[in-house]
A and B are shown apart, each in its own frame.
Chain A
């Protein structure tokens, strides 16, 4: 099984049906375990009590919102340079998944902000740049859907995604560059993480589960994208009739 075969839309569509089913089952069971670990087994925070437990959703979602953007821009770049069809589809389908992750990160952050900061929203560097990321995602989706020629739309959306890549380091380093209300990084300080190991382990586990979720949903959405693009071709009709 080589790369050129997987990149073939027909091959990908025919061979990922079972993969996506198995993956969604695995993701769902791992997610249940992770939620149980985060919400019951992990110890209480001495300062914030139980309210800190929302990090097991908030941090992975925020992390994924950046990671999905990088995936979208890189696959978009590959689609522009080497004109691989499946990369266009992966790029544009990542956009809506990333937008959902950004929205989850913002909403859980607001819910967490009320008990700890006393306010839902402040115009702080981290929060504002994350909101800009949401607007970028929405812009990419809107510009793609307003093109009638979907290949051209995917190229333009990929171009916008690549230019918007400049926002990613701004979001990531915003807590270090500006004095913000949002706390600094907790996990990426590898020498000496500021969270205790019993709180850190479920967080890293949830990060893994969210990554797996992203892959699962991406495969499903790419299958949908292939179907939308190839629904009038001969092979799709014969495949559906079988």
Chain B
């Protein structure tokens, strides 16, 4: 597909699998932050852009490595550790953020 080898394609899907939940969680955090502001829904995604960057850097680096035939397990492990850090902590963070946003 798209002149991409199967090996590269599996890596792309792996980075998507590991990266998408992190990006979604950060997006939810952004919109939870801006809940107290009315009619300003674009602000949340813009403000949380800096937090997306590590995920994007490591995913792009993994894909670049695999298409050059280099080892890419380091980047995958970093993505996995970001995911494993985010998944348990994000619900508590969101609970706290929403409490500040609503209780007013």
| Docked pose: A142 CA to B48 CA in angstroms | 12
Interface segment among B7-15, B16-24, B35-43, B64-72: the answer is B35-43
Quote the shortest CB–CB distance from B98 to chain A (angstroms). Answer: 11
Interface string of B79-104 (1 = CB under 8 A from A): 00000000000000100110011001
Whether, in the assembled complex, A113 has its beta carbon less than 8 Å from a beta carbon of chain B, the answer is: no
Nearest residue, chain A, Cβ from B85: A166
Interface segment among A11-19, A67-75, A157-165, A227-235: the answer is A157-165
Interface of A is mostly: helix
Interface of B is mostly: helix
| Docked pose: A147 CA to B33 CA in angstroms | 11
Report which of B34, B36, B50, B97 forms a contact with A164, defined as CB distance below 8 A: B50
**Which residues of chain A are within 8 angstroms of B53 by Cβ–Cβ distance?**
128, 132
**Which residues of chain B are within 8 angstroms of A139 by Cβ–Cβ distance?**
46-50
Contact, CB under 8 Å: B100 / A160: no
**Which residues of chain B are within 8 angstroms of A155 by Cβ–Cβ distance?**
100
Interface string of B42-68 (1 = CB under 8 A from A): 010011111101100000000000000
Which range contains the number of B residues in contact with the other chain? 20 to 34
Asked if A152 meets B104 with Cβ closer than 8 Å, knowing A146-B40, A159-B97, A163-B29, the reply is: yes
Nearest residue, chain B, Cβ from A138: B47
Nearest residue, chain A, Cβ from B44: A143
| Docked pose: A77 CA to B17 CA in angstroms | 33
Interface string of A121-165 (1 = CB under 8 A from B): 000000010001101100100110011010011011001100110
Whether, in the assembled complex, A170 has its beta carbon less than 8 Å from a beta carbon of chain B, the answer is: yes
Report which of A132, A143, A167 forms a contact with B43, defined as CB distance below 8 A: A143
| Docked pose: A142 CA to B43 CA in angstroms | 9
Contact, CB under 8 Å: B37 / A159: no
| Docked pose: A170 CA to B53 CA in angstroms | 12
| Docked pose: A241 CA to B34 CA in angstroms | 39
| Docked pose: A153 CA to B49 CA in angstroms | 19
**Which residues of chain B are within 8 angstroms of A147 by Cβ–Cβ distance?**
36-37
Quote the shortest CB–CB distance from A81 to chain B (angstroms). Answer: 11
Quote the shortest CB–CB distance from A3 to chain B (angstroms). Answer: 25
Contact, CB under 8 Å: A149 / B36: yes
